[in-house]
Amino acid sequence: MPHDLYVSTHVHIDGPIPGPHSLLTLAAVAHTADGGPIDRFAATLRELPGATPHPTAVQLWRSRPEEWLSSRRASRPPALVIGDLHRWVRDLPGRATLVTDPHDPDHLFLYWYLQRFAGQWPFARTIADPGVAARFDGGTCVLTGCHRQLVRAA
| Contacting residues for 120 by C-beta, under 8 A, at least 6 apart | 86, 114
Residue 148 has a pLDDT of: 53
Architecture in CATH for domain 4-135: 2-Layer Sandwich (3.30)
Give the start-to-end residue ranges of the domains of the chain.
4-135
- The full DSSP string for 88-104 is HHHTSSSEEEEEE-TTS
pLDDT in tens, 22-63: 999 999 999 998 888 999 999 999 999 999 999 999 999 999
pLDDT in tens, 106-134: 899 999 999 999 999 999 999 998 888 88
pTM of the model: 0.89
